[in-house]
Amino acid sequence: MLEPIIENDLINSLAGKFCRCPQQKNLLHESDSEIINLFENSGEYLAVTIDSIAEEIEAQLYDDPYLIGWMTVMVNLSDLAAVGAETVGLIISEILPENSSNYFIEKLQTGIKDAVEKCKTFILGGDTNSGQGLILTGCALGKCPKNKILKRIGCKAGDILYSTGKLGRGNAYAISKLFSTRHNNFHYLPSARLKEALIIREFASACMDTSDGTISTLDQLMRLNNLGFYINENLENILESESLKVTKSMGISPWLLLAGEHGEFELLFTIPSKVEKEFLKAADSDSWNPIRLGFVIEEPKIKLELNKKVTCINSQRIRNLPFLTRGNIELYLKKLLEYDNELIQSGIK
C-alpha cells in the first residue's frame, strides 16, 4: 500500500464534488491535459489544460518578466505535448500589480510572444485584472488524432523508460537562483517538446511531463500504473552537463537534480521493447536523441543506481515536501539534503 500524496488528496477533495463530463476521455490524474471528444464525427480530440504561474513568482524563483511570460506559455504547451497534442493556441489571464512599469509589462509580453513563436502557435485572447501580486494563468488548446492520444497510464513491466532530453536543468536553475551567488546567471528557458511528442505518440505506452521534477513524475506514473521504475543508466548520462557542474561546485549530490520539485519540462515516456528499434529510428530521422533512463518494473518502487548500488527512493517523502514546508524554500532544501544524508548514513547509498 503506497503512502498518500498530499497534492493528489487535495485535487481529489477539490474535484470530488464535480460530475465528470461524458465527452471527457480521461479520468482525474490520468493525463497532463484534459481530453475532450468535442465532435463525435471528428477524427480528433480537443486537448485543453490550465496552469498558473504564481508560487514561482511568490518564491522569487521567477523574477524576470520575460521568463514569467515565457513560462506561462511553455508550462501549458508542455501539458499539450504530454498527451501528444498539436497546439492550436493559448488564452492568458494576467493579474498585474497597479504599479507595474511599462518596461516590465513590455518584457512580460515579449516573453509570451517569443514563446508562442518558438512553438509556432498563437495567443487567441485573454483577460486583464489589477491585483496585489503578479499572477499569470495560461490555458492551452490543442488537438490530437483519437487513436494517438497519450495518457499517463498504459505502461507495462519491461517497457523502456525514456526522457526527451537530459534532466536536471529546472532544479539546477532553482538552486543557482535561490542559493548561489556564483551561478545566478544560469540559463533556464525550457521549450515544450511538441515536435518530439509527434514521434512519441506513435510508439509510447504512457507519457507525462517533468513539470514537478523527475522523481515526482515517476511517483505519479508509479501510482497510476501500479508499476515501478528502475533507472539503471549512469547519472552522468542522464543529467544535463551544466546542471551537473552546478551541483559539483555547490557540493550537492547530483541525484537531487531529479528530486527537486522545479522541473525541466521534458517528457518522460515508456516505449514497449518490441517497438523500441522503430522508435529510435524515427527519432534519429528527426535528428532527435532521446535519453534512455531505465525500464518499468513490476514492483511499485523507484530505484536508482547511486554509486553503483541500487537505492530505493522514498518518492512519497520527496513529493510531499513542498506541501509540508509550505513555500519555505530554505526549509525545503534543508529537508531534501537531510534525506540525501540519511541515504548516505544508512549505507544503502
Residue 97 or 184: which CB sits closer to its own copies? 97
DSSP-assigned letter for residue 239: B
Quote the least distance from Cβ 262 to its own copies, whole Å: 14
Residue 92 or 302: which CB sits closer to its own copies? 92
Single out the residue of 62, 233, 264 nearest to residue 168, CA to CA. 264
Nearest-angstrom CA–CA distance, 337 and 333? 6
Residue 127 or 284: which CB sits closer to its own copies? 127
Quote the least distance from Cβ 187 to its own copies, whole Å: 23
Grid coordinates 506514473 are at which residue? Answer: 221
Spatial contact of 215 and 171, defined as CB atoms under 8 Å apart: no
Cα 114 vs. chain centroid, distance in angstroms?
A: 21
Residue 117 or 202: which CB sits closer to its own copies? 117
Residue 105 or 178: which CB sits closer to its own copies? 105
Quote the least distance from Cβ 178 to its own copies, whole Å: 18
* Residues found near its own copies in the complex (CB under 8 A): 10-11, 13-15, 17-21, 23-24, 33-34, 36, 38-39, 41-42, 44, 46, 48-52, 54-55, 58, 88-89, 91-95, 98, 105, 109-110, 112-113, 116-117, 121-133, 135, 137, 139, 141, 143, 326-327
Nearest-angstrom CA–CA distance, 6 and 176? 27
Residue 83 or 231: which CB sits closer to its own copies? 83
Spatial contact of 209 and 95, defined as CB atoms under 8 Å apart: no
Quote the least distance from Cβ 129 to its own copies, whole Å: 4
Quote the least distance from Cβ 95 to its own copies, whole Å: 5
Residue 113 or 335: which CB sits closer to its own copies? 113
Q: Which three cell numbers, joined as nine digits, stand for 279?
A: 522508435
C-alpha triplet 211, 215, 216: angle, nearest 5°: 55
Burial of 28 (0-12, 13-18, 19+ CB in 10 A): middle
Quote the least distance from Cβ 114 to its own copies, whole Å: 10
Cα–Cα distances in angstroms (integers) from residue 9 to residues 3, 13, 14, in the given order: 11, 6, 9
Spatial contact of 307 and 299, defined as CB atoms under 8 Å apart: no
3-class state of residue 294 by DSSP: strand
Quote the least distance from Cβ 125 to its own copies, whole Å: 4
